[in-house]
Amino acid sequence: MKRIVTLAAAAIVFAGASASAQTVKVGLFAEPSAMDPHYHNLGPNNAFSSNVYEALILQDENQKLMPGLAVSWKPINDTTWEFKLRQGVKFHDGSEFNADDVIFTYERAPNVPNSPSSFGTYLKGKSFKKIDDFTVHAITEKPYPLMPVDLSQIVIISNEVGKDVTTSQFNSGEAAIGTGQYKFVEWKPGDTILIERNDNYWGGKPAFEKVEVKPIKSNPSRVAALLAGDVDFIDNVPTADIERLKGDSNIVLSSGISNRVIYLHMDRFRDDSPYITGTNGKNPLNDLRVRKAISKAINREAIVARVMEGVAIPAGQLLPPGFFGTSDKVKPEPYDPEGAKKLLAEAGYPNGFGMTIHGPNDRYINDAKIAQAIGQMLTRVGIDMKVETMPKSVFFSSASSGGPDKTPKYSFILVGWGSGTGEASSALKSLIHTKDSAAGFGASNRGRYSNPEVDKLIEQALATVDDAKREMLLAQATEIAMNDLGIIPLHYQVNTWATRKAAGLKYLPRTDERTQIGSLVKE
Amino acid sequence: MNGEPTKTPEPNATPAPASAEPAQPARLAPATVVETPFQRFLSEYCESKIAVVAFFVFLAILFVAVFAPVISPQNPYDLGQIDIMDGRLAPGDTTFDGATTYWLGTDDQGRDMVSAIFYGLRISLAVGALSGVIALMLGAIVGLTAAYFGGKIEAAIMRLVDLQLSFPAILVALMLLAILGKGVDKIIIALVIVQWAYYARTVRASALVEREREYIAAAKALGLSSWRILLRHLLPNVLPPLIVVGTVQIASAIALEATLSFLGIGLPITEPSLGLLIANGFDYMLTGKYWISFFPGIALLVTIVSINLIGDQLRDVLNPRLRR
């Protein structure tokens, strides 16, 4: 008996040494664009950096804030937040974590050269002061309740890497030193990312010895890799395959609602909109009746049932009900094609007009199919629709600033917004507030919707520290903006992950849509 | 110096007698059975049964493509006529009111597959034929010019052809479409640019041989203009290989267009060609909804195979070396 145990132990040691028993293989839809955690503020990048790095404050699966590298935080007066840092945390290279690393990180993060989308958005207008080795103050001019949420988006790097550290030093692994659950080993772009367990992690032993991440962009290939056992875990399970995978006893699916709303943004700043025809140079989208007609013409239930195969939730506002700052009073617009035709006629377009919808074809779940479905539905109430979809790399730069003088290029676009902060203020601030680059408002307001009343409520809410009062103000702003149809919400995205039963894994679905190894658990 | 055209003296002012017009060199030796060239062509073509079948299949495809708007149950490009609620119906299913039967099922947007395939064939054939004809004309002119003038012009043109052919066609087409954008016209331009070099090379090779023949020397002696010699004397005699290459190239143009559409560039998504239909169905391959990819794939296969079979037989018939 003893001999068997010894043999078994030897086998385990041997297996461990050959790195096969404990290696988890992950098939990922989207590969990070860099290993530098402050290079590109993008979903796949942020999800991956959360494996290697940590922020002062972490978010759990439902985006509730949890202590990370900070053990506690509180406002000490109207304009100052105090963060108490965790003691005894070591970086992967063995160096000690303290306030200097925090200050160093917050200086570097907004200033990474050539960043396609900067983390400055979370750090603008804030200054940071080291009080002692484990106390940091964050100071703003006005009261700022979202400080903890903002700082949960910035992961801390070691100040040992030096001031002039470059993105390529992170990509090679030289500077990829964090405090997170896993250590960075190697990145072969387009092929694999390798990480291994950080045995000195402050929060207990991480679940897996080695993790091999493989980007598999093609939907059918990713599913096939899972079915064949080439990978143990995939994200972004295509809606078309969910039904089939449900019936497969080797596969465990886990899905959860996200904080992402898929919506239509309309040109509100041009009289003669470039992709609208047959209106004698008038912009019909400036007429509330036309916007209402478009919203009524869209059969959200049909999109959810037929395009999303039931895996989505019809939307009436910026975040699913239940999230902070949403309103109970706004509901998804019911499908009413007759009402839509009537409204169009009232607005002076009994024969409709011509319009093109633009959207990405590789960003959101079934994005190109949704755009076509919208095309069908609006054609049926008399708007002569064209549908154009393109890769996200082309779409987003054109949609934001592809027109003359860096204005948005299109008239009517399909886009999505995930509220990283988990409250309505994120979408209100970026999509609904009048564009004001200097103050950081309306950064993604590609329709240039502007309503002074809503602006006032948003600004007021952002400066209100009292949660109950802030929630009420946000709900009020949401109600006005939705009744005015500043955007037309379609549905909330539901994300699905799949694991192999044989591997004994289960994924805890995250509302922030991230695929991070910390949420992958052994059953 | 066998590449140098022989210099002929300048013609004198006296008009050449009409009878001195060079005879067509391809004139046939008198045969025992009196047969026009076309009759002989026809009987030789019909020696292969499979080529005859291919020809009739191709005629049927051509008919479908030309009359697609008349014979299709639905206009699959009219967003008002398709309904997402009818999406992904299996072959033989009907709409819930029982009014319409989808014999080959519907795609993810509720398009009738029969209509979509008919319209898709129309696009494929139009793109293939148009780009083929334009590339053929362009390539023929360029190739003839190279062969006839020789020297530096030839070297320059042929190195350009080599350069073009050294890049894979799909790569060149992808780059061009990335620059040009989407649309049928853009895809035709891209295919012409990809294909002209094949024609130019073929034409030059045959024209080099023809250039040394006596009738060309005679034409030159008569003082005919270069263009006249090129178009009236050289071109007709290099046509047979050109026709063969053209047929095969049209088939490959159709395949290339389908590949580009499959990759999601080329044509707008609301006007799916066969390649785009196959790509749409690819998402559903693992779920057993085979018909979205399968039937367009079969249509594409039959089209390309039938054109290739016709091309093969044409090559056998038109190749003088195989002439018995």
pLDDT averaged over 10-residue windows placed end to end, chain A, 523 residues = 47 41 88 93 92 96 94 94 96 95 95 87 91 96 92 95 93 95 96 96 93 94 94 95 91 94 96 93 95 97 94 96 92 96 96 95 92 96 93 88 91 93 90 88 93 96 91 96 97 96 93 94 87
**DSSP structure string for A254-315:** EEEEEEEEEEEEE--S-SS-TTEESSTT--GGGSHHHHHHHHHH--HHHIIIIISTT-EEE-
User: Is the CB of residue A370 less than 8 Å from the CB of residue B84?
Assistant: no
Chain B residue numbers with beta carbons less than 8 Å from the beta carbon of A377 are: 84
Cβ–Cβ gap A240/B284 under 8 Å: yes
Instruction: Dump pLDDT digits (tens) for B108-145.
Output: 899 999 999 999 999 999 999 999 999 999 999 999 99
Q: CA of A220: which chain B residue's CA is closest?
A: B283
B82, B110, B286 member nearest A220 (Cβ) = B286
Report how far residue B197's alpha carbon sits from residue B252's, in angstroms, rounded to the nearest whole number: 14
Report how far residue B63's alpha carbon sits from residue B71's, in angstroms, rounded to the nearest whole number: 10
Q: What is the CA radius of gyration of chain A?
A: 24
Q: CA of A377: which chain B residue's CA is closest?
A: B80
Report how far residue A187's alpha carbon sits from residue A28's, in angstroms, rounded to the nearest whole number: 14
Mean pLDDT of B28-37: 63
Rounded to two decimals, what is the model's pTM? 0.83
User: Is the CB of residue B189 less than 8 Å from the CB of residue B182?
Assistant: no
B80, B109, B110 member nearest A379 (Cβ) = B80
Report how far residue A255's alpha carbon sits from residue B30's, in angstroms, rounded to the nearest whole number: 82
Q: CA of A383: which chain B residue's CA is closest?
A: B80
Report how far residue A219's alpha carbon sits from residue A36's, in angstroms, rounded to the nearest whole number: 27
pLDDT recorded at residue B323: 58
Mean pLDDT of B204-229: 90
A220, A302, A379 member nearest B283 (Cβ) = A220
How would you classify residue B92: left for phi > 0, otherwise alpha for psi between -120 and 50, otherwise beta? left
Report how far residue A465's alpha carbon sits from residue B244's, in angstroms, rounded to the nearest whole number: 79
Q: Nearest Cα to A358, choosing from B161, B257, B220, B268?
A: B268
Three-class SS of residue A90? strand
Chain A residue numbers with beta carbons less than 8 Å from the beta carbon of B276 are: none
Mean pLDDT of B187-197: 93
Task: For chain B, give the mean pLDDT.
Answer: 85
pLDDT recorded at residue B297: 95
Q: Give the CATH number of domain A257-493; options: 1.20.58.2050, 3.60.21.70, 3.10.105.10, 3.20.20.10.
A: 3.10.105.10
Does residue B20 register a pLDDT over 60? no
- As given in the structure block, the two tokens for residue B260 are 């580009």
CA atoms within 13 A on the CB side of A391: 10
Q: CA of B182: which chain A residue's CA is closest?
A: A388
Instruction: Dump pLDDT digits (tens) for A328-359.
Output: 999 999 999 999 999 999 999 999 999 999 99
pLDDT recorded at residue A443: 87
In a mutagenesis test of the A interface, which of B77, B84, B107, B186 is the best target, namely the one with the most A β-carbons within 10 Å?
B84
Chain A residue numbers with beta carbons less than 8 Å from the beta carbon of B108 are: 307, 369
Residue B112 burial class via C-beta count within 10 angstroms: exposed 0-12, middle 13-18, buried 19 and up: buried
Chain B residue numbers with beta carbons less than 8 Å from the beta carbon of A224 are: 286
Phi and psi, residue B248, nearest 5°: -65, -40
Residues belonging to chain A with any Cβ–Cβ distance to chain B shorter than 8 Å? 219-220, 223-224, 227, 238, 240-241, 243-244, 302-303, 306-307, 361, 368-369, 371-373, 375-377, 379-380, 385-389, 391
How would you classify residue A277: left for phi > 0, otherwise alpha for psi between -120 and 50, otherwise beta? beta
Report how far residue A153's alpha carbon sits from residue A133's, in angstroms, rounded to the nearest whole number: 22
Task: Give Cβ neighbours of residue A80 (< 8 Å, ≥ 6 apart).
Answer: A137, A138, A139, A140
Cβ–Cβ gap A385/B82 under 8 Å: no
Q: CA of B87: which chain A residue's CA is closest?
A: A306
Q: Domain extents for chain A? A: 257-493
pLDDT recorded at residue A394: 85
Which carries the bigger pLDDT value, residue B102 or residue A1? B102
A306, A372, A385 member nearest B85 (Cβ) = A306
Q: CA of A386: which chain B residue's CA is closest?
A: B270
Cβ–Cβ gap A243/B284 under 8 Å: no
- As given in the structure block, the two tokens for residue A328 are 């109970």
pLDDT recorded at residue B17: 45
Continuous H helices in A200-238: 219-228
Continuous H helices in B150-183: 151-166, 169-180
Chain A CB within 8 Å of residue B282 CB = yes
Q: CA of A385: which chain B residue's CA is closest?
A: B79
pLDDT recorded at residue A136: 97
Chain B residue numbers with beta carbons less than 8 Å from the beta carbon of A358 are: none
Chain A CB within 8 Å of residue B108 CB = yes
Beta carbons within 10 angstroms of residue A439's beta carbon: 13
- As given in the structure block, the two tokens for residue A165 are 């550290």
Report how far residue A451's alpha carbon sits from residue A241's, in angstroms, rounded to the nearest whole number: 42
pLDDT recorded at residue B95: 79
User: Is the CB of residue A508 less than 8 Å from the CB of residue A523?
Assistant: no
Distances (CA, A) of B131 to B136, B137, B193, B307: 8, 10, 9, 15
Range B275-283, long-range pairs (CB < 8 A, 24+ positions): B275/B300, B276/B120, B277/B107, B277/B113, B277/B116, B277/B117, B277/B120, B280/B107, B280/B108, B281/B107, B282/A220, B283/A219, B283/A220, B283/A238, B283/A240, B283/B108
Mean pLDDT of B270-276: 89
Phi and psi, residue A496, nearest 5°: -130, 135
Report how far residue A397's alpha carbon sits from residue A395's, in angstroms, rounded to the nearest whole number: 6
Nearest Cα of chain A lies from the Cα of B84 at a distance, in angstroms, of 7
| Helix H or strand E encompassing A193 | strand A192-197
Looking at the DSSP assignment, which residues form a beta bridge with residue B297? none
Report how far residue A383's alpha carbon sits from residue A300's, in angstroms, rounded to the nearest whole number: 18
Burial A17-53 (b: 16+ CB within 10 A, else e): eeeeeebbbbbbbbbbbbbbbbbbbebbbbbbbbbbb
Chain A CB within 8 Å of residue B285 CB = yes
Instruction: Give the distance, in angstroms, between the CA of residue A391 and the centroid of all CA atoms in the same chain.
Output: 18
Would you state the torsion angle of the CA atoms of residues A230, A232, A234, A240, taken in this order, to the nearest 10 degrees? 70
Report how far residue B222's alpha carbon sits from residue A473's, in angstroms, rounded to the nearest whole number: 95
Q: CA of B271: which chain A residue's CA is closest?
A: A387
User: Is the CB of residue A399 less than 8 Å from the CB of residue A264?
Assistant: no
Chain A residue numbers with beta carbons less than 8 Å from the beta carbon of B289 are: 240
Please count the residue pairs, one from chain A and one from chain B, whose beta carbons lie less than 8 angstroms apart: 69
pLDDT recorded at residue B226: 87
Q: Which residue bears the tokens 């998504």?
A: B269
